[in-house]
Structure 1
Amino acid sequence: MKKTILFLLSTLLTASLPAQVTERQRPTEWQQLIPGARFMDRFLPMPDGKQAQGIWGTDSVQNRFVDNGIELPDISFWGGNILQTSDGTYHLYVCGWPESSPKGHMFWGKSTVYHATSNSLHGPYKVINSIGKGHNPEAFRLSDDRVVVYVIDGYYIAPNENSLVWNYQQFSFDPRDRKIIEGLSNLTFARRPDGSRLMICRGGGAWISRDGLSTYQQVSNGRVYPAVEGEFEDPVVWRDSLQYHLIVNDWLGRIAFYQRSKDGIHWVTEQGEAYMPGIAHHQDGSVENWFKYERPKVFQDPEGRVTQMNFAVIDTLKWEDKTCDRHSSKNICIPLNKGLLLSVLNEQEINAKTKRIEVRIKAEEGFDPQTEVDVPSLRFGSFTEVNLGRGCKAVKTRHDGKDLIVVFNGKGSGIGPDEFAPKLIGRDTKGGLLFGYARLPYVDYRPALLSTRRPIADKETNQLKLTIENFGLSDSQPAKAEVWSNGQLVASGDVRALKPYEAAELSLNPVAPLGDACEVVISRDGQELERVSFPPTSSR
């Protein structure tokens, strides 16, 4: 693992980088990350496949498996993700354009979306038909089993994966009086537990649709990405049985960041690279040295854990891929370590005074935690501690059926009131990586999400009209709303308890004038739930 990381860093930080790449300085803390801390440590060797002679591509990718993902000599492929049907067939929805196109890679704006299938998750995938025009597709299945294939500026919908006719439609969007962040393109979607959808747009705004087709409502007041320098695009969001995950790529720095959230709105960013050039490696340690990895998509197991990621890869600068030359692009499949199923047994909230923390490691098909876990190697606690080799140490174990209960000394866990999914890192008895995130019994993983619209002055009644909506998955508690403008409290009022997707219309009596710019704060028991600054209407 250490050699792999050093190779990846040397690949990225080479002195002769092309003009499309800039070097990003890593935080000093990242130098102390232990193996398993980075998301990219979860990538596994690609399954052995077929290699060929005389294929397109620079020398750095001539050792690739041509039957991994999808690859054809006369089509440049890009983007795409995979769905599976009950018969075991894997369906890849990917876009592409002729390699002979007069503009080479720059013909991407006239992409065709293809439907390809395989009996193997990692391919090879064979095109069986085309769906229509479009770029950067992402497919998802609705609660009624209809399939949606999103493309930039619209989507295709059909009764199921095998449909021959796909209808083109367009989503509707309600920014809810907020600024749309960098436009609405390259959308990515995660299913929420009630069948609704969380969407993250390229700019990093968070949106929610009640069923995946109805109007998407903007619920963020800024981008949810890490507050660091970067030219961000290619977000991919998903939810497992515990939490939401988000990876976003800095295309100029060729480095991606990994984030987690319990509600899809408020995110923490883990240290270390999520992925970067060099992650596609073989069983023998050799690397497919693609110039760029973009448009990541995930394939999830029944628990929502990622078992494979798909990437669009290209062997050179995009504008150097010209018509009928030796350059092109394809979609590749890279397997991932999916992690463990973990839960904390402590009923009381964990803090710095907690002496013992009990963690259940669940047995699964093909995994016996009672015989395969190297218990002394385990560290448990907040990712801020565990990723740096700190955290709690195991003091004893016991068996519960087929599961393993590990008791940790609570010292140094780093778990505070904001922790929603503490992390475990360790090794199995063969030296392989073990990791996972644990469910806390006292955390609400389906919280209410109160969100405001812009206050409106009613000149006839001399009142402020304020709409508060609950986009969460549980009933909200009574809360307080305050309207501020020009540094003054304009009005305040009580917000009654709201059911999911319910709205409250407040009529407030102002004590100060409402300026063109204002701010609304929603709080409960002194805890701030949302703060939204609405700019002057002339600037929106």
Structure 2
Amino acid sequence: MNKKTSIKMLMALAFSALAAVAEKQLVDYFQPMEPQGQLVSNGIWGAANVLPRDIQNGLEDPTLKNWCYWDGRIVKSDDGRYHIYASRWTHAVSHSVGWHDESKGIHAVSDNIMGPYEDQGLTWPHWKDGIGHNVVGLRMHDGRYAVVTSELTPGEIFVSDSPDGPFKLLGQIKVDNNGFDPGLARYPADNAGAAKHGNTGHMSNVKVLLRPDGRYMIIPRSTAPMISEDGILGPYKIMGDRVFVKQFPELNVHHVEDPTVWHSGGMYHIVVNHWPSKTSYHFSSMDGIHDWKYRGIAFKKEETKIFRYTDGTVNDWVYVERPTAYVDEETGHVTHFIFSVIDVKKGQDKANDNHASKIVVVPFDGEAFDRDMQKIVAGE
């Protein structure tokens, strides 16, 4: 074999490897769940499609004595514990009534990132009776703990020196529209769904990210990037339109929700859900503001089964929503995602029945994901 032929073969192998990487999508990096306890079916809630399951995974009330859970993000404290700040409502009401009329912000804790997480009670019991939805937590640049709520309220941030609280209201998130449509940040008055529930003027699905450059970033329901130069309360300046509009103009903007945002491998990522098709899309950007590129399917409920255990058992949750990524501070890679899941259609979850919602933790190979994403970007 001569030198020229050898070089051609090496180049062909390199292009083949890059093509294989390019074909992978975010969904390919989810890992099987190691059960934290025995998989069980008897004496717990749930339709047959989510049985047997690990009731020690994530956060749930397995016998439905009290609560249904939703929302959340994992935050690690300095003592090695893991915290989920999320929302809950009583099982004595339906899902539809629960999330809108009874949802409260809560705090749960575990010594293991996979769970089980133990409910510690309301996060801000002395503020409006603990009302909270779209609840997520984070560490601030100064080390304090912050918890965000929106949807049922305009968009507030609570802070504490300790992950266990007490959490006090820091204030309401401020927005600078910067010449863009105000509806990119808050529900407009003419939004029929928001008007029906009295939520016009509220922010929704707010995810706050600490950027490596020291600024704070919000991705709201619209997915329009918003940047604050002046701390966690803002004002957040709207920096552009929805990240998906140029590549998916056919998507109904009122049917896109639950974005999550993170930074890993030197770039920013957004996953956003198109709920009618139960399909979540993945986008990336080098600076988190401009040139968002579509990177494929994050997960599609009818085609991908990400809730699988190491023994091959699969839980087929009917709705998979509110994803958030956990980025390990030491490695800088995503190691887990959490999801809000429900075992039946939301309208079928009635008061005091055998159906409910919980928070599930799924392992993710973020090291391989970041390595492959860097190869894809380098090859563009």
TM-score, normalised with respect to structure 2? 0.78
Between 1 and 2, higher relative CO (CA 8 Å, sep ≥ 6) is seen in 2
Contact 2:326 2:335 in 1 (8 A): yes
Contact 1:189 1:236 in 2 (8 A): no
| Structure-1 residue corresponding to 2:214 | 195
1:153-168 to 2 correspondences below 5 Å: 153=154, 154-167=156-169
Q: 1:106 aligns with which of 97, 100, 110?
A: 97
1:179 is the counterpart of 2:181: yes
Relative to structure 1, is the Cα distance of residues 206 and 63 closer, same or farther in structure 2, using a 3 angstrom cutoff?
same
Deviations for 1:367-425, whole angstroms, at most 9, x for unmatched residues? Answer: xxxxxxxxxxxxx8xx7xxxxxxxxxxxxxxxxxxxxxxxxxxxxxxxxxxxxx433xx
> CA separation in 1, counterparts of 2:22 and 2:60?
33
| Structure-2 residue corresponding to 1:422 | 375
> CA separation in 1, counterparts of 2:166 and 2:45?
32
> CA separation in 1, counterparts of 2:224 and 2:297?
23
State the AA in 1 paired with 2:236. Y
1:260 is the counterpart of 2:284: yes
Number of aligned residue pairs: 319
Contact 2:172 2:233 in 1 (8 A): no
> CA separation in 2, counterparts of 1:159 and 1:214?
20
SS of match in other structure, 2:72: strand
1:338 is the counterpart of 2:329: no
> CA separation in 2, counterparts of 1:136 and 1:267?
24
**Range 162-171 or range 128-137, more displaced:** 162-171
> CA separation in 2, counterparts of 1:122 and 1:209?
32
| Structure-1 residue corresponding to 2:83 | 91
State the AA in 1 paired with 2:28. D
1:292 is the counterpart of 2:292: no
State the AA in 1 paired with 2:29. R
| Structure-1 residue corresponding to 2:46 | 57
> CA separation in 1, counterparts of 2:369 and 2:270?
19
Contact 1:180 1:205 in 2 (8 A): no
Contact 1:181 1:205 in 2 (8 A): no
> CA separation in 2, counterparts of 1:194 and 1:276?
35
1:208 is the counterpart of 2:227: yes
Shift of 1:280: 0.4
Contact 2:85 2:147 in 1 (8 A): yes
Q: 2:135 aligns with which of 112, 134, 137?
A: 137
Contact 2:29 2:369 in 1 (8 A): no
Shift of 1:340: 4.2
Relative to structure 1, is the Cα distance of residues 64 and 341 closer, same or farther in structure 2, using a 3 angstrom cutoff?
closer
> CA separation in 2, counterparts of 1:35 and 1:279?
20
Q: 1:321 aligns with which of 349, 355, 359?
A: 349
Contact 2:171 2:233 in 1 (8 A): no
Q: 2:34 aligns with which of 47, 52, 75?
A: 47
Deviations for 1:272-317, whole angstroms, at most 9, x for unmatched residues? Answer: 3445352100112221000011000111112431100000000111
Deviations for 1:19-39, whole angstroms, at most 9, x for unmatched residues? Answer: xxxxxxxxxxxxx98797010
| Structure-2 residue corresponding to 1:71 | 60
Shift of 1:181: 3.8
Relative to structure 1, is the Cα distance of residues 287 and 341 closer, same or farther in structure 2, using a 3 angstrom cutoff?
closer
> CA separation in 1, counterparts of 2:170 and 2:345?
32
Deviations for 1:314-336, whole angstroms, at most 9, x for unmatched residues? Answer: 01111111100011000000000
State the AA in 1 paired with 2:147. V
Q: Gapped runs of 5+ residues in structure 2?
A: 1-18, 124-129, 187-202
Relative to structure 1, is the Cα distance of residues 339 and 276 closer, same or farther in structure 2, using a 3 angstrom cutoff?
farther
| Structure-2 residue corresponding to 1:469 | none
Task: Please state which structure has a larger fraction of its residues in strand.
Answer: 1
State the AA in 1 paired with 2:76. Q
Task: Report the structure number with the largest CA radius of gyration.
Answer: 1
Contact 1:33 1:272 in 2 (8 A): no
State the AA in 2 paired with 1:287. V
State the AA in 1 paired with 2:204. S
Task: Please state which structure has a larger fraction of its residues in helix.
Answer: 2
Q: CA RMSD in A?
A: 2.4
SS of match in other structure, 2:221: coil
SS of match in other structure, 1:270: strand
Deviations for 1:234-265, whole angstroms, at most 9, x for unmatched residues? Answer: 00001125010110011110010111101112
Contact 2:26 2:369 in 1 (8 A): no
Percent identity of paired positions between Structure 1 and Structure 2: 30
1:262-411 to 2 correspondences below 5 Å: 262-265=286-289, 266-276=291-301, 278-301=305-328, 302-340=330-368
> CA separation in 2, counterparts of 1:42 and 1:166?
38
Contact 2:279 2:297 in 1 (8 A): no
Relative to structure 1, is the Cα distance of residues 50 and 180 closer, same or farther in structure 2, using a 3 angstrom cutoff?
farther
Shift of 1:163: 1.6
> CA separation in 1, counterparts of 2:23 and 2:81?
32
1:126 is the counterpart of 2:153: no
> CA separation in 2, counterparts of 1:97 and 1:213?
27
| Structure-1 residue corresponding to 2:190 | none
Write out the 4+ residue segments of structure 1 that deviate beyond 4 Å after TM superposition.
32-36
